[in-house]
Structure 1
Amino acid sequence: MDKRTFNKGEHLNVQPIRKQADIEIAKFLLAKNKKGPRDVLLFLFGINTGLRASDIVVRKVGEVRQTKHPIITEQKTGKKRTLNLTNLADEIDTYIQGMRDDEYLFQSNKFSNYHLTVNGVYQIMQKLGKQMNRSDFGTHTMRKTFGYHYYKQTHDIATLMTIFNHSSQKITKRYIGITDDEINESLDKFKLGL
C-alpha cells in the first residue's frame, strides 16, 4: 500500500470501487462507524447519484421526503439537475424517520443544525480506504464508483457524460478509470505470434 501523504493542493489518484464485493465490504465497515447509519446512507447516496460531495452534504430531509426526484442546483456548475432516488427510497425513508424537513440529511459530527462538510466526507473516505487497504479513496470515490458501474451496466457514455456535465466522452472515460481498464483488457487478449 502506498504510504505517501499528500499536501493540500496535491492530487490523489482517486479510483472507483470496481468490485461489487468491495462495495458490500465498504457498507459493512461504514455501518460500524460512530455515525454508521449516516455514513452508510451517505455512501449509498453518492454511489447511486454520482453527485459531488459538495452537492450531497447540503441536501435537506424535506427534499428527499417530499419527492424521489428532487431538482437541485449543482454547486460547482450552477446547473439544475433532477435526481432519481427511487432506488434509495426504502433506505432514505428508514433513515429520516423522526427527522424534521429543515434538518440536513447528513448532519455534522460537531455542530447541531449543520451539515457534514466536504472535509468530513474526505475523512470518512480516507478511514474507509485505510480499513480496505486502499490508498486511492477520496471525496470523488463515490462519484467515480457511480460512473464506473453506470458505464459497465449500460455502456451509455453519452448519458453519463451529460450526468457528469463533462465536455467530452474521453474526459468521462478517463475520470471513471475506464480508459485504463479497457487498455489493459484489450492487451490481456492481444496475442501476436503466440
Structure 2
Amino acid sequence: MNFVQPIRDQDVIDGIKEYLKLRSLRNYLFFCLGIYSGLRVSDLLSLKVGMVRSTHITLVEQKTHNKKNPKKKRFIIHPSIREDLDRFIAGKSDDEYLFVSRQIKTKSKLRGKPIGRSTAYKMLNDVARHFNLAEIGTHTLRKTWGYQLYMANPNNLALLMEMFNHENPLDTLRYIGYSQDMMDAAISGMK
C-alpha cells in the first residue's frame, strides 16, 4: 500500500474544484464532500440523497474501531457547496445513492449503484496528473480535510484525534502529513 499525502496548497484545492466542476458535478461534489467532511471514501460512496438534504450528514462510519458499540457521527455540509448539491439532488429520490455510477455493474447487471472505489481512485489520479501532484489516493481527501483544519487552527488536534479515532497526537500529525512537513523544515533549516 502506498502512503498518500494531503493536498496542502489551498490554491491547488481551488483549482481542482474548478477543474472538476467544469467536467462533472458528481465528481466535484465527491471531492468537496471528501475535503470538507473528512469522511472515508467508503462512507462517501455509501451516502444516499436523503442523507444530504439537510444541513448535516449523520451516519455510522463503516470502518470503525468500535464495532460493538458504533457511534453515530454528524458532519456539517460545507455551505460553499450547498447550492450545487441542491441542484445535483433535485428530482432524485431519498433512497438513491448520491454518487451513482453511470455504468451497469458487470456481475450483477444492476443500475443505480454507487461508483466504486477504483472509479474514485481513477478520478483522483486524473486530477493528480493534471495538477502534477504525487502520492495521491483515496485517503487524500480525508487527509486534506485534516491537514487544512489543523493548519487553520492547531488547537483542533483533539478534534482530529477523535475524528480519526487516534489515541496519540503523533499518529494524527503523521496521518495528516504534518510530521513530514516539520521534518522537511528542520532538515532544510540545517546549516
Map 1:101-116 → 2, pairs under 5 A: 101-111=94-104, 112-116=111-115
The Cα of 1:189 is off from its aligned counterpart by: 4.8
The Cα of 1:187 is off from its aligned counterpart by: 4.5
One of 49, 52, 58 as aligned partner of 2:40: 52
The Cα of 1:131 is off from its aligned counterpart by: 1.5
Identical counterparts, % of pairs: 37
Aligned with 1:71: secondary structure? Answer: strand
Match of 1:97 in 2: 90
The Cα of 1:90 is off from its aligned counterpart by: 2.5
Whole-Å separation in 1 of the counterparts to 2:151 and 2:43: 24
Aligned with 2:152: secondary structure? Answer: helix
Aligned with 1:16: secondary structure? Answer: coil
Whole-Å separation in 1 of the counterparts to 2:15 and 2:103: 27
Match of 1:28 in 2: 18
Map 1:64-103 → 2, pairs under 5 A: 64-65=52-53, 67-77=54-64, 78-87=70-79, 88-103=81-96
Q: What TM-score, normalized to structure 1? A: 0.85
Match of 2:67 in 1: none
- CA RMSD after TM alignment: 1.7
Whole-Å separation in 2 of the counterparts to 1:121 and 1:39: 8
Match of 1:163 in 2: 163
What one-letter code is carried by the residue in structure 1 that aligns with 2:3? N
The Cα of 1:167 is off from its aligned counterpart by: 2.3
Maintained 8 Å contact 2:51/2:94? yes
**Structure 1 stretches lacking a partner, 5+ long:** 1-10
Match of 1:61 in 2: 49
Match of 2:141 in 1: 142
Q: Which runs of 4+ in 1 moved over 3 A?
A: 186-191
Whole-Å separation in 2 of the counterparts to 1:166 and 1:110: 37
Match of 2:107 in 1: none
Maintained 8 Å contact 2:36/2:78? no
Match of 1:129 in 2: 128
Aligned residues: 178
Which whole-Å deviations, capped at 9, do the CAs of 1:109-162 have from their partners, x for residues lacking one? 313311111121111111111222223111111111001000000112111111
What one-letter code is carried by the residue in structure 2 that aligns with 1:75? Q
Q: What TM-score, normalized to structure 2? A: 0.86
Which whole-Å deviations, capped at 9, do the CAs of 1:11-58 have from their partners, x for residues lacking one? 22211111011112212332343xx10000000000000000000011
The Cα of 1:171 is off from its aligned counterpart by: 0.9
